[in-house]
Every structure is written in C-alpha cells, then in structure tokens.
Structure 1
Amino acid sequence: MTDVSGIIVAMVTPLADDQKISYSRTDKLIDKLLTYNINGIFILGTNGEAYSLTEDEKFSFAKHVIEYVNHRTQIFVGTGLNSTSETIDFSQRIATLNPDALSVVTPYFVPPTQEELINHFEKLANSVNVPIILYNMPGKTGVNIDPETVAELSKNSNIVGVKDSSGSIDNMRGYLKLRANKDFGVLSGSDSKILALLEAGGDGAIAATANLLTQNDVDIYEYYQNGNLKMAEECQHRIEPLRKVLHTRTTPSALKATVTASGINVGPAKDPVMMPNSDELEDIDRMISYYRTNNII
C-alpha cells in the first residue's frame, strides 16, 4: 500500500552536458538520496523538467529509476498531460513499470472548471491500477483544485493523496478538513509550509529542497513527530537561504546549480532555461559553504 507521508524528494532530472538524460549522474544522485530516511522519490515533476521532455524520454527515465531503486524507497512518477485521453494513455504506459503512485498535475493553459477536474481525475483513476496523487500547482497551471473538489475525489479508492504547491496553508487546511478519510494523504509541495502543514494535521511534503537539504527536511518531519517543535522550527528556518537562491532563476536552474556545487553533478537545465551566471554561482558557493560550516549538509 502506498504510504503518502513523510518527506518525498522532488528529484531533479540529471542531464549530460549535451542536454540528454544522464543515467550515470542519475544513479549518483539517487545513491546520495537513499542514504537518508526519505519516504520516496518523486520524478518528472516541475523540478524534474517533465514539461520539456518527450514521452519516450520520460518513460525511459522512469524505467531506469524504478529498476535502479529496486524497492529501496517508493517511486512516484509525474504523468499529468493536458488532455484526459493523453493523460490516461501515458499513465497506463507508466503503470506497466509498477511505480508506487502516479502524481498527476491538473490540465493547464485553458483552466478547467472544478466539475471538469472531477471528471478528468475520476476517468484517470478508473483507468489505471496504480494509486493517484493529485498535484495542485495553480501558479503554473492557472487552476486551483478546490477543497470541495478534493473532498469528492478522495472518495475514489484509487486517489490516495494530494500534493499542494499553492503556497496557501488555508487551502491545505481545507483539504484536511474535507478529505473523505485520514488515509488520504495531504502533502505540501511548498517547502516553506512543511512544518505549518504538519501542525495543521498534514502528512508530510514532496520537497524540492530535499535534493540538497535531505537530512534537514527529514528532520523537520521527524522532530515534529517526536514532539520536538523547537528543533522542527529550526530546521524549517534553515531552508530559507536555499529558497532565496532558488527564486533568483527560472526553475530548476538554481536548484541544479546548488546540487552540483554540493558535489553531485546533475548537469544543466533543459533549454531554454539558462544556468546561473558567474556572480550567481558565487552566491551559491557562499550558501553551500554556510550549510557545510553549520553541518547542515
């Protein structure tokens, strides 16, 4: 049974210098992540640059990651596309790889109504034999999955959770209040809200900052679960220097640069996204030095 809780890493997709997926770099990043007590790896999301990869590239990458991890942690795969039919087709294709769950972003560009979202996700959930995690990212898609919509979708036994990247703790509280059962996981996709969601009764996070601050992000969850709110708050605060850097460039340019600066080369971002310039790289190096000096990485 899929466990929708704890810290799940929203992993970047390592590329070679020629912009093609690098499986050797991918393995090195996975090896690093698996040394920590994470509860899963989410691939092919926003920070995984799924929007810039072909379906064949995404399938090959998912196959490699699932086989390489070999059940050492859960693997969630992003399969959301812009129409219901293509989302079903691609999700069924990925389902043949037996991931632990599919993370499915809402359709975008022409924002669907809440009724249309329910129809979209219900058709998908009834078409695949892999659990579905809803992915709410209104800042990119132009549509919010409202709490009442999640309440309805959470009644479907194959829809097991939601990742909320709205940045709105009120929206997340709405999910918690209206979800059909407490086995339906509510995860923060906004790393600044990990602790706030846990305090509201949430279940964890799918965190991009965990590519670099893996132990720190796990500590937020574990300290909170163990009742040590002071240390959980301190670990939550430690994310801010990284978040400040991440906001200086187009996603996931700065994140990839920070992971590479830490010693795990994940290559460039996919064109047209450009990597940080020399001045920005100096700021990243100073941030990495700060984290190392304080034994955070």
Structure 2
Amino acid sequence: MVTPFDDDENVSLPRTKQLIEYLLQFDIAGLFILGTNGEAYTMTEEEKFRFAESVIQVVAGRTKVIVGTGLNSTKETITFSQRIAQLQPDAISLVSPSFVAPSQTELIAHYQAIADVVSVPCVLYNMPAKTGINIDPSSIKILSQHPNIIGIKDSSGSWDNFDGYLANRKDDDFTVIMGSDGKILEALQHGGDAAITGTGNLLTASAVNIYHAFKAGDLEAAKKYQGQVEPLRDVLHEATIPVSLKAALTAAGVAVGPARRPALMPEEGSKLAADIGQVVADYRAQGII
C-alpha cells in the first residue's frame, strides 16, 4: 500500500482511510504498509508508528496487516519492531539492511536476533536492487527453521532465488511471496504461495483475480488478469517509485497525494502525465477499474 500524503507531503489520515476502504472492497488477503511503494525510507520512525497505528485501527480486523519495520542496524530494527509489535499487526516485514552489505552469516544472525525478541511473526523482504544485498536461498534453509520467521517476499526478479527459497524452506508453512508484479502468475505456477503487489493499489481486482483464477484451474483467465497489469507497469517504469503509481491512483479518483521529494510528481502537460492519464482512461473503458 502506498502511504497517502497531503499536498504538503505530510501523512494524511483522511486519505489513508479512503484508500483502505477502497482496497477493502476487494477480496484482498491483507495490506502491506511501509514498504518500498509505501515510501518508508522517507519517513521518520514516529511518522511510521502513527501511520501503522492508524491503519490497524481503520482496518479493525477486516484483513491482515503487515508492517515494514526493517532498518539498517540490528539494534534499531529490534527497538522499532518491538514498538510496532505493541500495535499487534499480523506480521512485520524485515527488509535487509541497505548500504551495509552484510555477509550471509551476518544477515542470518541479524534476522535471528530480531525474530528471537519480537512478539509478532516476521516476514523477510529481499530486494537486492535497493538494498545491495541478496538473501541467498542457502540462508533460507537456516532462517525458515526459526519458529517466528514465517516467510519471505522476493523482489529480486531472479527465478534462481525464488525457486531456491521454495526448495530450501523448512516446509510449506514457510510462505514464499512474489514481489515482482509481472511474475505473479508464473510464481504461482512455480509453487509460490502469494504476491505482494504495488500495482494492486489500483488494479486490486486484477491481482486478486490472478490468484483465484489460478487456484480454480482457469489458466486462461489467470493469464488475462496478469496481462492487465502490464500497461500500468510500463508507466511505473517511466518515473521514480512511487510517482507514477500515486499519480495513477489520483487520476482514478483515489487521492493519495504526491510522492515525497526528492521524487517529483509529473508536470502538467508532460509526456508522463499524458501516459498515466491514458492508461487510467483505458482501464476505465475496459471496466478494469
């Protein structure tokens, strides 16, 4: 889920409630907040805590809530994760430390230390393009043994990683989640369990329908729904995360405000603004949104 801001880039609780109610119209399995598209990296810890508190209150048990709490040191991640755990989310998500580039031994120890002392389940988050470190499949053989580490979101785009996680997990209770929106159906075909999808902020029905069509054995329908994601993904790649996504949501009538600078929203009359407007118009014309 994106983090809605007001026009001055402050967290907007009214817009947050509007977005949550929009998403809850669909058969979603849960909300993942304070991730990459959630711009957690631009927010203070106090902002993140108050935002998570608000989301959990608005959701009020109607779906699961996973909260991103990963920071760069083990100590600060433990402190913040324990604070978020007081809100009783369904799980926390732990992105790898960025810039530090720990070894796999250090990474394993980092995650085990957090999971040992946090009272809610932990989902690992692998995004090497942003963090500079990959969680190797061999590390999952160890980490999936921990009773409080229940899964991993993989946004590496690497099938060696994804399939390696499936092969090395302790058992099927350890959830392997696709984080690359263009590969949701293929991930399910590989034996993956779920997806956490940024495009699902707007194309919520398409994301849900990929999963349900696949589970029902209707591969053609699943391919159709997967294909609906591609035009939005194309415009997402034209700008800094989550500029195009926030602009598309607002164009579709779900006001989520701007991205935080240094990311800049599309200028009126620009090619990007036109491309986003056209994608949203096309989705409306096809009844996709």
Give the residue type in structure 1 aligned to 2:61. Answer: H
- Output the CA distance in 2 between the equivalents of 1:229 and 1:169: 20
> 249, 258, 263: which one pairs with 2:248?
258
Larger relative contact order (CA 8 Å, sep ≥ 6):
1
> 207, 226, 242: which one pairs with 2:232?
242
Q: Deviations over 1:140-199 (max 9, x none)?
A: 001100111011100001000000000112210110011001000000111011111100
Match of 1:60 in 2: 50
> 263, 268, 273: which one pairs with 1:281?
273
- Output the CA distance in 1 between the equivalents of 2:134 and 2:226: 25
Equivalences for residues 1-297 of structure 1 within 5 A = 11-277=1-267, 278-279=269-270, 280-297=272-289
Report the secondary structure of 1:65's partner residue: helix
Report the secondary structure of 1:237's partner residue: helix
- Output the CA distance in 1 between the equivalents of 2:157 and 2:182: 8
Q: How many residues align?
A: 287
- Output the CA distance in 2 between the equivalents of 1:283 and 1:147: 38
Report the secondary structure of 1:126's partner residue: helix
Report the secondary structure of 1:19's partner residue: coil
User: Residue 169 of structure 1 contacts residue 196 of structure 1 at CA under 8 Å; is this kept in 2?
Assistant: no
- Alignment RMSD: 0.6
- Output the CA distance in 2 between the equivalents of 1:75 and 1:228: 29
Give the residue type in structure 2 aligned to 1:23. Answer: L
Give the residue type in structure 1 aligned to 2:286. Answer: N
Give the residue type in structure 2 aligned to 1:176. Answer: L
> What TM-score do the two structures reach when normalised by structure 2?
0.98
Match of 1:8 in 2: none
User: Residue 82 of structure 1 contacts residue 107 of structure 1 at CA under 8 Å; is this kept in 2?
Assistant: yes
> What TM-score do the two structures reach when normalised by structure 1?
0.96
- Output the CA distance in 2 between the equivalents of 1:236 and 1:150: 28
Identity of aligned residues (%): 55
- Output the CA distance in 2 between the equivalents of 1:216 and 1:170: 26
